[in-house]
Amino acid sequence: MSVRVFPSATLWAVLALIAIADVVLMVATDFRPTGTAWLAILAVSAAAAGLGYLYSTVRRDDRLSALAFAAAYLIAYTLAGATLSYIGTSLGLPLLDANLARIDTALGFDWLATLEFVDRRPLLGAALRFSYASSMAQVVFALIVLAATRQFVRLGDFLALFTITSLTTVLLSSLLPAAGAFVHYDPPATLRDVVGADAGIWHLKHFTALRSGAMHTIDAAAIEGLVTFPSFHTALAVVTAWAFWRTRFLASAAIGLNALVIASTVPVGGHYLIDVLAGGALAAAAIVAVGRRRRARADAWVPAGVTPAA
């Protein structure tokens, strides 16, 4: 049996198309990469891919092969997707914060009251801040666990879900931009004691500079998340919990932690409630779509002689 490309030829093709789009758009919009982090990140991705090939052919170890290929893909894709997000933000389309805030009000949600509630509970605020910062560490842990437990099909699908949800949020946030609830409501400093003075505005310096045209360089070592609507943190929390769903002893903990991640997106991430609802709906739709495709086409990468765990 010949070794297939993990996570799938389709995902690598999508990555290639995004990378090509990045290059074309950077040239067209006069963006340019700066710093040495670009080469370092791409070198790490290439090295991981090399290890994947080594462990799939020369020194056969399906778990290490899957993990290495997954890391190579995730590293390269994250860089390409983040670059696309920066270019999309530079379009400078009208901000929709007032619209999103009105939707929240129509839903009966009081954003400032939520922030005040958290501010009165330091332990809750600390837990939410920790949870919010845990998302990418959870992704790395998921790759390790799924590869180590031979859940290769689920690992490939997790990477597909990461791609679908992140790419969709990048595209939607470029066309429907918002600065975030902390910018819109501008709460007093006293309400930031628990969540942190920088909560919800980590991205603001780059976001503002990109929209004004003052920023035309992208330093891969200093990239910030720029997405407000839909909430990628919410979508990622849902698909990460899904990734651990069939792993004993970890499923319950993953669900609990990612429930906190979702709860943290409003007071810590500075999202509107509608951002969170949209992010959750996006993740659910992606899970359904990937599941249907999986059932229709049994195309998972499976090493010779290995029976994959779902």
Q: What is the pLDDT of residue 2?
A: 38
| pLDDT score of 309 more than 80 | no
- Is 295 in a helix, a strand, or coil? helix
- How sure is the predictor about 306, in pLDDT bands with cuts at 50, 70 and 90? very low
- Is 51 in a helix, a strand, or coil? helix
Residue type, 59: R
pLDDT digits (tens, 9 = 90+) for 97-139: 999 999 999 999 999 999 999 999 999 999 999 999 999 999 9
| pLDDT score of 4 more than 80 | no
Phi, psi of 230 (to 5 degrees): -75, 170
Percent of the chain with pLDDT strictly greater than 70: 94
- Torsion angle in degrees (nearest 10) through CA of 147, 150, 152, 154: -90
pLDDT digits (tens, 9 = 90+) for 135-194: 999 999 999 999 999 999 999 999 999 999 999 999 999 999 999 999 999 999 888 889
pLDDT digits (tens, 9 = 90+) for 36-69: 999 999 999 999 999 999 999 888 899 999 999 9
Nearest to 233 by CA among 251, 258, 208: 258
Identify the residue whose tokens are 């963006």.
31
Please compute the mean of the pLDDT values over residues 230-238 and round it to a whole number. Answer: 98
- How sure is the predictor about 298, in pLDDT bands with cuts at 50, 70 and 90? low
Q: What is the pLDDT of residue 29?
A: 92
Q: What is the pLDDT of residue 295?
A: 79
| pLDDT score of 303 more than 80 | no
Q: What is the pLDDT of residue 170?
A: 97
User: Hey, CA dihedral for 165, 171, 172, 176, is it positive or negative?
Assistant: positive
Specify which residues 146 forms β-bridges with.
none
pLDDT, the chain, mean: 93
Residue type, 72: A
Number of Cβ within 10 Å of residue 123's Cβ equals 8
Q: What is the pLDDT of residue 207?
A: 96
Q: How many residues does the chain have?
A: 310
Q: What is the pLDDT of residue 257?
A: 97
- C-alpha–C-alpha distance, residues 215 and 114, integer Å: 34
Specify which residues 34 forms β-bridges with.
219
The answer to whether the beta carbons of residues 201 and 270 sit under 8 Å apart is yes
Nearest to 181 by CA among 172, 191, 194: 191
